[in-house]
Chain A
């Protein structure tokens, strides 16, 4: 069955550094990937979408890559800030599935000042 895996352990980094989060998938060929941020006690918030024909997408300090050969997406936050501390969820999907996204379990990021 399809499996979406993100770093299971929390990621702790120093303010100002680049955080890199991984999302690997098996037995699945997504056509796109969405990334969401979730703060404790709140619902996920959309960050970025990348399609299979796009290698890289950027938005301000955020960058996402999508490697269909490695079956992996990387999510980068440059010049990280304590306010970036949250859980980040990847959610790949395929067309014609009614909007169905399969979420990974998320990676908890903690940025220390």
Chain B
């Protein structure tokens, strides 16, 4: 059983389009995260939710909107895609929101904006 799953694994789209990435965890965790990993491999936190409540909202363009329908799911919707949005997006989850909690990462979604 996959603990943290993301769909799709690859996403190729044109500038200006709107796209969504879905994330699901079956670990029973309360906290979920979205990270962006750019071409230089830096992994940066974008958002975190604890039990459907937004906890972390880093300096991310408001074209990015996370949505958590329940604590097992955290989706990422991106409007008006730009070239600079090309990256690998990782979803993660942890038992609680403490920074000492282990974060379990999904396999990533490689987004390419043409």
Chain A residues packing against B (C-beta within 8 Å)? 31-32, 34, 41-46, 49, 51, 87, 89, 93-95, 97-103, 105-106
Contact = CB atoms under 8 A, between A and B. Distances in A.
Interface residues of B, number: 29
Nearest to B99: A93
B40 A105 contact: yes
The secondary structure that dominates the A interface is loop
A98 B50 contact: yes
B100 A105 contact: no
Given A45-B105, A101-B45, A103-B43, A95 B98 contact: yes
Contacts of A31: 99
B40 A98 contact: no
Contacts of A34: 100, 102-103
A41 B41 CA distance: 12
Contacts of A93: 99-100
B104 A32 contact: no
A97 B94 CA distance: 14
